[in-house]
Structure 1
Amino acid sequence: MAQVRRDRWSRGRVTLLGYAGYCPSPMSGQGTSLALVGAYVLAQELGRAPGGGHRVAYARTEDRMRPFVAANQALATENPGGPASEEPVDRV
């Protein structure tokens, strides 16, 4: 099994959310959670962006989501073959 990690989740007027952007492993069990949190954060940032600036909203969403996504991606790789550690969740 492989896990993709992207440097950026948006370009121009397009942004990636959920599995397309955050690429959680099925071993993490966090796909739906990441998708819902990402959509919620994006909606907040779109509402806050000055003049409806989607580029600002996309950048702020990525800044807020990046640590949460990294911690959730780590759930699949930090304990291969064993139960998930609580440590990545505690770091967020």
Structure 2
Amino acid sequence: MQFTNLTDLYFHFDLLAEAEADADTLFASSYIRGFIALIAAQTGDESQPLTAQMANEVTAQLARAKAELSPQDQVIVSNYWQSLIPSFNT
């Protein structure tokens, strides 16, 4: 997966719902989208590129929020996030 900016990534998340992705993917993408949106709101707008700094901040926020999730959900979110990280300019 490659995305030019946040708008492209958000579009991808929206398409998952339209494509009736499995429940785990929908959960993980929605959960991660919330963290991305919070960080993006602090640093720019939806046309901003996906950066390594943004990925690092999302990773840190996900680690801090880990206790919110069951162990199974932690694995689902972590695996999905790992699949997205290469899309950020590292």
Q: TM-score, normalised by structure 1?
A: 0.37
Q: Going by fraction, where is helix more abundant, 1 or 2? A: 2
Q: TM-score, normalised by structure 2?
A: 0.37
Q: Going by fraction, where is strand more abundant, 1 or 2? A: 1
Q: Which has the larger radius of gyration?
A: 1
